Chains A and B, each alone.
Chain A
Amino acid sequence: MSRIVETRQLTPVTKMFVLDNRLIAESAQAGQFVMLRVHKDGERIPVTIADYDREAGTITIVVQAVGATTRRVDALDVGDEILDVAGPLGSPIEIPDGGAHVVGVGGGFGAAALLCLMREIHAKGNTATAIVGARNQDLLIMTNELLGVADNVEICTDDGSAGMKGFVTQRLAQLIEGQGPGRPDRVIAIGPMAMMRAIAATTKESGIKTMVSMDPLMVDGTGMCGGCRVIVDGKSQFACIDGPVFDAQLVDFDLAMRRNKAYAEQEKAAAERLACATAEAV
């Protein structure tokens, strides 16, 4: 059980939770995730660790209410307990030992996961640049927090309501050309699959090492089910133990996107069932 000690609504569908879990807080590193389960008949879902505080013994996660389970999480508040939180799982992101310009690209609620990543990049003596993007200003998340941990924060919105008008890929392309904080030595992208694929295409010609954080469907998150398999360089890899971070140029995104829709119908039905049940309860 992990008690929720703080929450914040980031956008209408995105909520941040700070969980009291000393064991995970003490061992978590950027790139890792936890498995959550919220009730006794609940499913296990992987959620990226956005941040951790070893002193306070807390971890921060951000959940977007899209399916039945994430909606149940969304309904929780300070003082509530999350039934099961297991982690940190997955291999930490490999960060250069200093002197490198590392750019983290966060799309949608993936921006939250840049928090501990930027801090770790900076702490190792690198220049940490965050590029975050959203459709408009209201959907941007964690920009103030990122300003506190990154050396540079580059903001993009589709409508130009904040930062540069355009996509994160366009800003990244400008950096590769030497604009702004300059050409990255390494790029790490966390966000929707389509964005990560676009980032891979953006850096492809440059030869800049680019990593993406895959979020396939998982059951256990501990190497047991193989449901999270991702094809990397033609070989089957388990995102939970071999990843979740892989070389962007080697990932089969088409397959990954198709596999993530495996239960689309069942997920939609479950979300509708939950909505009906909630409506009845009210």
Chain B
Amino acid sequence: MPVKRFDKTPMPTQVAGMRAHNFLEVNEGYTEDHARFEAERCLRCQDPICVTGCPVGVPIPQFIHAVALGDMQGASRLLRSANPLASVCGRVCAQENQCEARCSLAGRFNPVAIGHLERFVADWERTQTQEAKPQITRTEKVAIIGSGPAGLVCAGELARLGYSVTIYEALHAPGGVLRYGIPEFRLPKDILDWEISLLTDLGVKIECNVIIGRTLSLDQLTTKMGYSAVFIGTGAGLPQFLGIPGENLVGVYSANEYLTRVNLMRGYSADADTPVAHGESVAIVGAGNTAMDAVRTAMRMGASKAMVIYRRSETEMSAREEEYHHAKEEGVEFHWLTNPLEIIDDGNGRVSGLRCQRMVLGEPDKSGRARPVAIPDSEFVIPVDNVVLAIGTTPNPMLTRTTAGLSTTPSGCIVADERTGSTSRSLVFAGGDAVSGAATVILAAGAGKRAASAIHETLNPG
């Protein structure tokens, strides 16, 4: 543990060699001693700019000060007042690009471990008996479509304001990407279940197996069913494919499919019926957080060789540093500047290899990142049993295709006001990945929160 005050107190983790073969959580969490020591590092700036890096505006210095004083009750109340998904965000948020990036200590030293402290406080709260909860006090009903981070946060905020809230979820279990996408070793489903139970304790109703746009239409919600307002948080769950030969061979997955089979359908458990491939050698294409989740999952599903294939370099990858670091420790191989050209057929319609070419970085492209350029005559084959494509997702079109008057962009994103989430249809709001395209949990949470305020202001002005 730390001796120098300018170092971040390290997060205790499961040993890499062990955790690479189990689905238990990698990060084990601070003890109270760790937390109070780390909290003491906060300078309690007069004008705390860390807060400006937080999409939900957590009162960071205040909650950290409470931790330093050992007032966990106070800390949790402060944290919970701003972030209804604290135990989730404390685990999966990219704090290093947000609050921690703006910490006054960040320039010369290491920033305060705001994320680890958030997680500590939320986990402490989980061990406590819950306080009496506010009741439904208003007559207006609000429908939330989708139970991912945007929907859960919007529901929580509205429930706290006294609205009667019902969440409609298409799958058999709530949580959206937190359930089907993020693996158990990064976000245990017990934690998610607990966060959701806090909402149902507030009176939020969750209707699973209901697909708005199919089972019920958006119009039915606003007319026959009497909802005063609707929030759409349907996420960006439609997987993209590369369009290279061999993509439909048996053994090629989208990251969504692979992770859903393992996470939502619990493919890691011997009791689960849903089959999933257990490749010896697995290549993941892409280098974002989803790619890290997929490659580390492949490792845990028994792969002796789990690889990330990325056409740019380490500098351009979008995965969080922590995920990358953990993946490396666990033995994941990284093939940078490697562009997949074709997935090779074993002769029976199954994957046997991935034909790639070497790349070199050129001038920046429109994303601002260096454009990878192929090196002539550099093709080679990596033998693999499975290929998982983690190259991005776009918004799910089920609702927008079946709903009249809901404006979308050419890429399928719902057009919504940045500040309020209001859409082209009156009393219909939207936020999260369905609006922004694939982004982060906390940005979705922020959008859900802003939409909840806007819904409240619209329904009960003044």
In the bound complex, do residue A227 and residue B253 qualify as a contact, i.e. CB atoms below 8 Å apart? yes
Tally of chain A residues near chain B (CB < 8 A): 39
**How would residues 188 to 219 of chain B score, 1 for a CB under 8 Å from any chain A CB and 0 otherwise?**
00000000000000000000111100111100
Q: Are A41 and B216 in contact (CB under 8 A)?
A: no
Question: Could you tell me the distance between the alpha carbons of A241 and B273 in the complex, rounded to whole angstroms?
Answer: 24
Q: Which residues, 209 to 233 on A, are CB-close (under 8 Å) to B? A: 219-220, 222-227, 229, 231
- What bracket does the count of chain B residues touching chain A fall in? 35 or more
- The reply to whether B275 and A258 form a contact with Cβ atoms under 8 Å apart is no
Name the residue in B214, B248, B397 with the highest tally of chain A Cβ atoms < 10 Å from its Cβ.
Answer: B214
Task: Determine if A44 and B256 form an interchain contact, defined as CB atoms under 8 angstroms apart.
Answer: no
* A258 and B239 contact, Cβ closer than 8 Å, known pairs A37-B172, A41-B271, A267-B275: no
**Which of B170, B260, B272 contacts A41 (CB under 8 A)?**
B272
The answer to whether B261 has its CB under 8 Å from any CB of chain A is yes
Could you give, for residues 244-258 of chain A, a 1 whenever the CB lies within 8 Å of some chain B CB and a 0 otherwise?
000000000001001
> Does B257 sit at the interface, judged by CB under 8 A?
yes
Q: CA–CA, A265 to B214, complex, Å?
A: 34
Do most interface residues of chain B lie in helix, strand or loop, or is the interface mixed? loop
Is the pair A223, B273 in contact by a Cβ cutoff of 8 Å? no
Q: Indicate whether A224 sits within 8 Å of B209 (C-beta atoms), given known contacts A41-B273, A86-B170.
A: no
B251: which A residues are within 8 A, CB to CB? 262
In the complex, the answer to whether B256 meets A258 with C-beta atoms within 8 Å is no
Residues of B close to A229: CB separation below 8 A? 241, 248
- Known contacts A223-B396, A225-B260, A270-B275: A236-B237 contact under CB 8 Å: no
Residues of A with C-beta under 8 A to B170? 86, 220, 222
**Contact of B10 with A by CB under 8 A:** no
A225 touches B254 (CB 8 A): yes
**Of the candidates B215, B272, B398, which one forms a contact with A241 in the assembled complex, judged by CB atoms under 8 Å apart?**
B398
The answer for the CA separation of A266 and B396 in the assembled complex, in Å, is 30
Q: Does A84 have its Cβ within 8 Å of any Cβ on chain B?
A: yes
Main secondary structure of the interface of A (DSSP, over half): mixed
Inside 8 A of A24's CB, which chain B residues have their CB?
A: 215
Contact B209–A219 (Cβ < 8 Å): no
- Which residues of the other chain, A, contact B248 by a CB distance below 8 angstroms? 229, 231, 236, 255, 259
B180 lies within 8 A of chain A by Cβ? yes
Nearest chain A CB to B338 CB, angstrom units: 23
Chain A residues with Cβ below 8 Å from B398 are 222-223, 241
Question: Given A43-B265, A43-B274, A89-B211, A27–B216 Cβ distance below 8 Å?
Answer: yes
Kindly state the separation between the CA atoms of A229 and B239 in the bound complex, as whole angstroms: 11
B171 at the interface (CB under 8 A from A): yes
Tell me which residues across on chain A come within 8 A of B275, comparing CB atoms.
Answer: 43, 263, 266-267, 270
**Choice from A23, A27, A37, A227 contacting B257 with Cβ under 8 Å:** A227
The answer for the CA separation of A226 and B261 in the assembled complex, in Å, is 12
Q: A79 — which chain B residues lie within 8 A by C-beta? A: none
A195 to chain B, nearest CB (A): 21
* Given A69-B273, A86-B211: A44 touches B265 (CB 8 Å cut-off): yes
**Partner of A43 from B211, B256, B273 at Cβ < 8 Å:** B273
Binary per-residue interface labels of chain B (392-403) against chain A in the complex, 1 for a CB within 8 Å, 0 otherwise:
000011100100
Given A41-B269, A225-B257, A226-B241, 7 more A-B residue pairs with CB atoms under 8 Å apart are A43-B274, A87-B214, A224-B260, A225-B256, A226-B238, A226-B257, A262-B250
Task: List residues of B whose CB falls within 8 A of some A CB.
Answer: 170-172, 180, 208-211, 214-217, 237-239, 241, 243, 247-248, 250-251, 253-254, 256-257, 260-261, 264-266, 269, 271-275, 349, 396-398, 401
A interface vs B, CB < 8 Å? Answer: 23-24, 27, 32, 37, 41-44, 68-69, 83-89, 219-220, 222-227, 229, 231, 236, 241, 255, 258-259, 261-263, 266-267, 270
A-B contact pairs, 15 of them (CB 8 A): A23-B215, A27-B217, A37-B172, A44-B265, A84-B172, A86-B172, A219-B257, A222-B211, A223-B397, A223-B398, A224-B180, A236-B247, A236-B248, A259-B248, A270-B275
6 nearest A-B residue pairs (beta carbon): A225-B257, A86-B209, A266-B275, A43-B274, A226-B254, A263-B275
